[in-house]
Amino acid sequence: MQANRLPLEGIRVADFCWFGAGPIYTESLANHGAQVIRVESQAHIDGLRVAHPMPEGKYTLNVSGYFNNYNASKLSFTLNMKHPKALDVALRLVAVSDIVTENYTPGTLEKWGLTYQKLQEVRPDIILVREPMQGSDGPHAEFSGFGAVISPLAGISHLSGSPDRVPVGLGTNYTDYVINPGHTIIATLAALRYRNRTGKGQLVEVAQVESSTCAVGTAILDQTVNDRSQNRQGNRLPHAAPHGAYRCQGDDRWCVIAVFSDDQWRAFCKAIGDPQWCREERFATLQSRKENEDELDRLVEGWTSPRTAEKVMETLQTAGVAAGVVQNARDVLENDSHLKERGYYVYLDHPEAGRTAYDGPGFRLGKTPGRLRPAPMLGEHTERVCKEVLQMDDEEMVQLVIDGVLF
């Protein structure tokens, strides 16, 4: 058996994705052994290559932390699809690929001549994975959008946050990072396994609005079954109290605490030194704690606010009570001893961006763990792909450069 074989070794991906959800998905394939060839162009720059953050005073196409963090382990191949000679090169790449991916507005690939039928002609068992916003058909298929509008559309914004506040969502393009890329990887791997078993490729479509709406499955059922349209409830849960984020010592420091059962409540009281109020009848059962939750939250915060969030967490977790620091980016990167010991963040040296942190895989395979290489610079691997993957001779390659095709 081959040592250090990765699970997707031997799989080649012609990756036409750009921006967030698409490239995040293909990075996971690349980290686990697939050869992922990002097809990019100077004429059609991926918006993330010009997005912040970039190192102070250094604004180039190769240093965006946003881009680099989602494109580790890939190759970058520049091909200007608007050039008439690009289609032939793209099809030659498809012919030697297992998977083609894209997340453009429906019709873009077709405009370039890359119809699914055409792909099948050059590679009969090709797997084409499309990640449109709304799906390829239907009244809103052409609607524009990106991650920021999915949370509102899918109901996530309406359902999250405080009921007396404007539904602003989660402060990020939430579904771009795990929900959509994750569902897309699953679909791709399923299609790959199906191909391995049957020899058949297929067209896979992950409409981002659909895949995101899966994440509010309970609210959907409450609506379809009980005709109840749920509203946001802040950090509270019907079957827990206290349950929320409590202010701690310092600027914008918080610790969450979650107490579900009466046993957990007793453990909580003991851990905080059994103050008088803990013994009051009005907090004795879950039901009574729910009835007096405003007062309960005030008293809990009275205990947390003179303490550091870390101390609150340690005190409670030592007693078996669920608690966690509301960590910020600095905490997760530099202060979280657990993440450090596990090495979740990986520091990689990049020729232009220097040494920066990358997210490691969100799951760990015991025998075949993923591994990361720094994100590619724009066009860094164009020559290598031409020679090693497309078997081009120097003359042809140079001509394509001169013609502005490999651009």
Enumerate the active-site residues.
Answer: 176
Report d(CA 378, CA 369) in Å as an integer: 27
Stretch that binds another protein, among 38-46, 72-80, 107-115, 229-237 (CB under 8 A): 229-237
* Cβ-contact 223, 229 below 8 angstroms: yes
Of 301 and 382, which has the nearer Cβ to another protein? 301
Distance separating alpha carbons of residues 19 and 5, to the nearest angstrom: 30
Contact stretch for another protein (CB under 8 A) within 79-87, 102-110, 171-179, 385-393: 171-179
Query: In the complex, what is the shortest distance from the CB of residue 274 to another protein, in angstroms, rounded to a whole number?
Result: 20
Using CB under 8 A, which residues numbered 62 to 101 contact another protein? 65-66, 68-69
Judged by CB, which is closer to another protein: 119, or 405?
A: 119
Phi, psi of 254 (to 5 degrees): -140, 150
Q: Does 148 bind another protein (CB under 8 A)?
A: yes
Rounded Cα distance, 39 and 274, in Å: 62
57 near another protein, rule: CB under 8 A = no
CA atoms within 13 A on the CB side of 41: 15
Among 30, 321, 385, 392, binds another protein (CB under 8 A): 321
Q: Please report how close the Cβ of residue 59 comes to another protein at its closest, in angstroms.
A: 12
- The single residue listed with the structure tokens 């103050």 is 275
Interface residue with another protein, options 287, 328, 335, 391 (CB under 8 A)? 328
CB count in 10 Å sphere of residue 342: 11
Decide: is 207 part of the binding site for another protein (CB under 8 A): yes
Is the distance from CB of 83 to CB of 407 less than 8 angstroms?
yes
Rounded Cα gap, residues 351 and 329, in angstroms: 24
Residue choice 57, 84, 117, 139 for contact with another protein (CB under 8 A): 139
Q: Which is nearer to another protein, 198 or 391 (CB)?
A: 198
| In the complex, minimum distance from the CB of residue 85 to another protein, in angstroms, rounded to a whole number | 29
CB closer to another protein, 169 vs 379: 169
Binding residues among 231-260 for another protein as defined by CB under 8 A:
231-232, 234-235, 238-239, 243-247, 252, 254-256, 258, 260
- Is 236:164 a contact under the CB 8 Å cutoff? no
Which of 17, 79, 93, 156 is in the footprint of another protein by CB under 8 A? 156
Between residues 190 and 398, which has the closer beta carbon with respect to another protein? Answer: 190
| Shortest distance (Å) from residue 283 CB to another protein | 20
Give residues 289-318 in contact with another protein (rule: CB under 8 A).
Answer: 317
Instruction: Kindly state whether residue 186 participates in binding another protein, applying the rule CB under 8 A.
Output: yes
CA dihedral 375, 377, 379, 380 (to 10 degrees): -80
Short-list 292, 268, 273, 272, CA closest to 282? 292
In sequence order, which residues have a C-beta less than 8 Å from that of residue 246 and are 6 or more positions away? 254, 255, 256, 257, 297, 300, 301, 304, 305, 312
Binding mask 345-374 for another protein (x = CB under 8 A): x-------x--xx-xx-xxxxxxx------
216 part of the interface to another protein, by CB under 8 A = yes
Smaller CB distance to another protein: residue 57 or 84? 57
Binding mask of the shown chain, residues 106 to 125, with x at each position contacting another protein by CB under 8 A:
--------------------
Count of residues of this chain found to bind another protein when the rule CB under 8 A is applied: 149
Nearest-angstrom CA–CA distance, 352 and 60:
9
Torsion of CA 188, 28, 38, 349, to 10 degrees: -170
Backbone dihedral angles phi then psi of residue 225, each to the nearest 5 degrees: -95, -50
Among 106, 113, 324, 404, binds another protein (CB under 8 A): 324
* Residue choice 3, 273, 281, 337 for contact with another protein (CB under 8 A): 337
- Residue pair 321/264 in contact (Cβ under 8 Å)? The answer is yes
What residues are paired with 118 via a beta bridge? Answer: none
- For position 211 contacting another protein by CB under 8 A, the verdict is yes
Q: Which of 13, 93, 114, 204 binds another protein (CB under 8 A)?
A: 204
Angle at which helix 179-198 crosses helix 21-31, to 10 degrees, equals: 50
Buried/exposed 216-235: b ≥16 CB within 10 Å, e otherwise = beebeeeeeeeeeeeeeeeb
Q: Which span sits near another protein by CB under 8 A: 38-46, 47-55, 105-113, 284-292? A: 47-55
